[in-house]
Amino acid sequence: MSDGLLTSESTLFDYGCVRGGDLELLSLQGILCAGWDPAFRPDAERRLADVVNLGFVINVIEETEEWAEALRRSW
């Protein structure tokens, strides 16, 4: 947010949101956001958004094929 990537007009989708803590904080800042997580929110709808956060997905995947699949699905 400090870099101006997110504003109150932005939408964000957190692909790998875990329990949704970041979603709660962003919502309090007026950001329209949603998230999906394979362990904690597997049935959540994956939505189009201006910004897609993959930080907690990309950083933990070690296998190249799984990493590439996560990128394809998030796109």
Strand 51-53 and strand 32-36: the pairing is: unpaired
Task: Please give the Cα distance from 69 to 63 (Å, whole number).
Answer: 10
More confident residue, 75 or 50: 50
The secondary structure of 19-64, three-state, reads: CCHHHHHHHHCCCEEEEEECCCECCCCCCCCCEEECHHHHCCCCCH
Domain that holds residue 44: 11-74
- Is the residue at 3 inside a domain? no
Looking at the 3D structure of the chain, how many domains does it have? 1
pLDDT score of 71: 86
- Is the residue at 1 inside a domain? no
Question: Is pLDDT above 90 for 74?
Answer: no
pLDDT in tens, 12-71: 999 999 999 999 999 998 899 999 998 999 999 999 999 999 877 778 888 889 888 888
Question: Is pLDDT above 80 for 1?
Answer: no
